[in-house]
Amino acid sequence: MELRRLGRTDLRVSIVGLGCNSFGWKADRAGTRSIIDRAIACGINFLDTSDSYGPSEDFIGEALGERRKNVVLATKFGSSMDTEGKQKGASRPYIMTAVESSLRRLKTDWIDLYQLHYPDPATPIEETLRALEDLLAQGKVRAIGCSNLPAAQLDEAQQVAKRAGLSAFASTQNEYSLLVRDLERELAPVIAKHELALLPYFPLANGVLTGKYRPGQPAPAGARLADAPPFFDGYREPAKWELAAQLERFAAERGHTLLELAFSWLAAQPGVASVIAGASRSEQVEQNARAAGWALTSAELAEIDRITRPAG
């Protein structure tokens, strides 16, 4: 498994990472342990979760045990942790409470990458960065990152850190796939400007890039999009399924699968350090781990660009 440097940090992460949002939802304790066991056996060393992913942190802490020191463990803070929406945000008091809770659940003394999950309009970014700076100084956190920040806010955060002499975000985690390329317009230049590591999530567009969804046919029974809430309607668009079918033909003509194309294309994009892929079964982990090995040629990348790049 290829390892890549996480931005300007000393952390080296596997090109395929394990997204842990299914733990406690689609994978119970035993299933979580099986998935993590297989991930480590396949060379995946980067595990990404959040304090808001149900019992995910608890399950990871129990499953890792003594292997904790062998992985790069990332989690997030800032999402709402209660139904009233009071336990959330990026204020200093909240961060200091949230990190201790995550450390306890993960059964660890440090978090390798601590990430702001969503923007907090109620808190100045300098307050957030100063709190994270203290965690870095205390050794509770090794690197800091963010997720889902728009380009302007990400640029502001990096500039504030520089002006104030604070540690800047080392990475940003955003949705990115062959079917969702929006970040290339505004966010990609900011990522390049500040030499950030990009950690794409939803690399398979919520399953559309697995090939299981066929144009003109209903979603297979039991598939994620078969009974997903309206939030996922964008992935049910016929045009996306048609595009996935076209990409599948492109891959097949070259002796590869759609899954391999999805991962390998992301691995070839500027700044990408690790592709965050979730799994609800250990077999999926093994498939994902093998999927990023297609070294796409410049001609192939150009053709994929022609097929998928959004207009405008």
Q: Does the annotation count 118 as an active-site position?
A: no
What is the chain written as a DSSP string? --EEE-TTSS-EEESEEEE-TTBTTTB-HHHHHHHHHHHHHTT--EEE--TTSTTHHHHHHHHHGGGGGGSEEEEEE-S--STTS-S-S--HHHHHHHHHHHHHHHT-S-EEEEEE-S--TTS-HHHHHHHHHHHHHHTSEEEEEEES--HHHHHHHHHHHHHHT-PPP-EEEEE--SS--THHHHHHHHHHHTTPEEEEE-TTTTTGGGT---TTSPPPTTSGGGS--GGGGGGG-HHHHHHHHHHHHHHHTTT--HHHHHHHHHHTSTTB--EEEE-SSHHHHHHHHHTT-----HHHHHHHHHHHPPP-
**Active-site choice (53, 94, 176, 213):** 53
Report, as residue numbers or ranges, the catalytic residues.
Answer: 53
